[in-house]
């Protein structure tokens, strides 16, 4: 938690003493400063951590990467996915279109950041190479890290020697340790991590601190049930399927004023025309104003890779 400073000074030269403070919350007494706006500009020039209430983030110095969706970029502070911080994506279940949402930025980083891999931690199913290639991703530049609490990949006829309970108790800590060190390493382009519901009390704070030294975006995919829980991530979005190949995006936490209305983003299509017509017919039957999820039953990721992982 940063220091809280209240500035009551007649000269902006006194602001020079603020340089080097980790994080600032500044209140300027306009009656005693030669222009409150000028004083705020002086503080902003000294420290990039200053956030000005009422500003959507255009003045943010955090590097960003365009999302590939103009409407989403307009809603994100700085105009894209932020680097050096955590971004939480909250889902009702895997496969609502989250990978198609992230594919443009991941493909761009793979092209531009040569020698840096894309790391996935505990995806809910084994990634499908041809589906990823269809999205413009290079599977050869990806590293998938799996811990024992993820969906197990078991060989037929072989049982695990350790009990599921004992393995699950150790898995979150091992996965979080690997994720934290990957963020600190400086050798990773982008990170996607599917986290369990229950986390140690300081886990997200440690990850946020580690992400500050990371030059790419860091996405945490979590269950939507944790939306009411506090999080140090400065950007949090809730995703849900709105219609076939359409994604509903609610930006419920960002630096700046809240987003009044959710966004509807058209995703790259993955359904064949007959399947799309059937899905659209289901939307019409469900009635206007109803959010229809073609995968509402929670499909098996193994049999629905084209939707869940494309």
What string of DSSP letters covers 136-160? T--GGGEEEE--TTS---PPTT---
Q: Which of 2-16, 22-36, 269-283 has the lowest mean pLDDT?
A: 2-16
Residue 22 has pLDDT above 50, yes or no: no
Please report which confidence band the pLDDT of residue 42 belongs to, taking 50, 70 and 90 as the band edges.
low
Higher pLDDT, 220 or 146: 220
- Which tops the pLDDT comparison, 159 or 172? 172
pLDDT number for residue 43: 53
- pLDDT higher than 80, residue 174: yes
Rounded Cα–Cα distance for residues 302 and 127 (Å): 9
Query: What is the pLDDT at residue 166?
Result: 38
Mean pLDDT of 278-283: 68
Q: Please indicate whether residue 10 or residue 148 has the higher confidence score (pLDDT).
A: 148
pLDDT in tens, 114-150: 778 999 999 999 999 999 999 999 999 999 999 865 5
Predicted local distance difference test score (pLDDT) of residue 248: 97
pLDDT at residue number 269? 86
pTM here? 0.69
Q: What is the pLDDT of residue 107?
A: 94
DSSP 192: E
Q: Where are the alpha helices (DSSP H) in 30-141?
A: 36-46, 70-75, 98-112, 129-134
Q: Average the pLDDT over each of 45-49, 259-263, 292-296, 304-308 and give the range with the smallest value.
A: 304-308
When pLDDT is cut at 50, 70 and 90, the band that residue 211 belongs to is very high
The residues of the chain that CATH labels 3.40.50.300 are: 64-151+164-308
Q: Which two tokens stand for residue 89?
A: 């994506």
Predicted pLDDT at 53? 52
Higher-confidence residue of 114 and 33: namely 114
* pLDDT band for position 258 (cuts 50, 70, 90): confident
pLDDT band at residue 177 under the 50/70/90 scheme: very high
Q: 59 is written with which tokens?
A: 């003045």
**Spatial CA neighbour of 120 closest among 96, 104, 137:** 137
The two structure tokens encoding residue 307 = 């939707």
| Fold that domain 64-151+164-308 belongs to in CATH | Rossmann fold (3.40.50)
Cβ-based neighbours of 248, under 8 Å, separated by 6 or more: 239, 240, 241, 242, 262, 263, 264, 291
């Amino acid at each position: 938690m940063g220091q809280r400073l209240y500035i009551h000074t007649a000269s902006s030269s006194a602001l020079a003493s603020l340089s080097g403070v980790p994080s600032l919350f500044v209140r300027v007494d306009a009656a005693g400063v030669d222009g409150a706006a000028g004083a705020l500009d002086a503080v902003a020039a000294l420290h990039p951590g200053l956030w000005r209430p009422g500003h959507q983030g255009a003045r943010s110095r955090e590097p960003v990467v365009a999302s590939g969706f103009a409407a989403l970029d307009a809603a994100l502070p700085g105009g894209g996915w932020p680097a050096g911080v955590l971004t939480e994506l909250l889902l009702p279940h895997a496969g609502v279109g989250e990978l198609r949402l992230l594919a443009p930025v991941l493909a761009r980083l793979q092209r531009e950041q040569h020698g840096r891999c894309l790391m996935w931690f505990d995806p809910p199913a084994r990634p499908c190479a041809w589906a990823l290639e269809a999205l413009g991703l290079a599977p050869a530049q990806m590293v998938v890290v799996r811990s024992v609490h993820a969906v197990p990949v078991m060989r037929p006829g072989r049982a695990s020697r350790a009990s599921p309970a004992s393995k699950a108790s150790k898995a979150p800590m091992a996965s979080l340790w690997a994720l934290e060190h990957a963020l600190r390493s400086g050798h990773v382009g982008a990170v996607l991590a599917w986290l369990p519901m229950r986390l140690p009390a300081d886990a997200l704070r440690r990850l946020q601190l580690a992400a500050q030294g990371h030059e790419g975006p860091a996405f945490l995919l979590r269950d939507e049930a944790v939306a009411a829980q506090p999080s140090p991530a400065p950007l949090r979005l809730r995703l849900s399927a709105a219609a076939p190949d359409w994604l509903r995006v609610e930006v419920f936490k960002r630096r700046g004023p809240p987003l009044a209305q959710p966004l509807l983003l058209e995703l790259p299509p993955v359904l064949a025309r007959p399947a799309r017509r059937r899905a659209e017919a289901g939307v019409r039957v469900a009635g206007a104003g109803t959010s229809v999820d073609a995968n509402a039953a929670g499909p098996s990721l193994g049999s629905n890779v084209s939707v869940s992982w494309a």
